[in-house]
């Protein structure tokens, strides 16, 4: 398995986790608690955890070439929910 992870500093980590859960829950398999979530995506899995200081995200897949696409899925949706903040994407490492 190939993984990539990032931590976004925000006071709204739990809020964004719940919004992502609700959104993805209409489309795919989602497991979530108030502080953690797992989303099954076409090319792999996204795991999210919220704490008082931010939101941690990890994407996992069998193929390294799928990592940027999985990161993009999380980023596009997060940007939509975090429009009041200056953030645009998770600070993923370069692949």
Burial of 76 (0-12, 13-18, 19+ CB in 10 A): exposed
- pLDDT value of position 83: 85
Q: Residue 21 and residue 16: Cα distance in Å, rounded? A: 8
- pLDDT value of position 95: 65
- pLDDT value of position 35: 86
State both tokens at 91: 């600070």
The number of C-alpha atoms within 13 Å of 50 and in the hemisphere containing its C-beta is 20
pLDDT per residue as tens digits for the range 72-90: 999 999 999 988 888 778 9
pLDDT per residue as tens digits for the range 11-66: 999 999 999 999 999 989 999 888 899 999 999 999 999 999 999 999 999 999 99
Domains and CATH numbers, the chain: 2-81 (3.30.310.50)
């Amino acid at each position: 398995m190939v993984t990539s992870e990032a931590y976004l500093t925000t006071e709204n980590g739990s809020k964004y986790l719940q919004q992502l859960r609700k959104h993805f829950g209409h489309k795919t398999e989602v497991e979530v608690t108030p502080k953690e979530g797992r989303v099954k995506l076409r090319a792999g899995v996204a795991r999210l955890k919220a704490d008082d200081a931010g939101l941690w995200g990890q994407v996992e897949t069998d193929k390294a070439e799928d990592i940027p696409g999985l990161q993009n899925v999380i980023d596009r949706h997060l940007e939509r929910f975090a429009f009041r903040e200056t953030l645009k994407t998770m600070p993923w490492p370069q692949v």
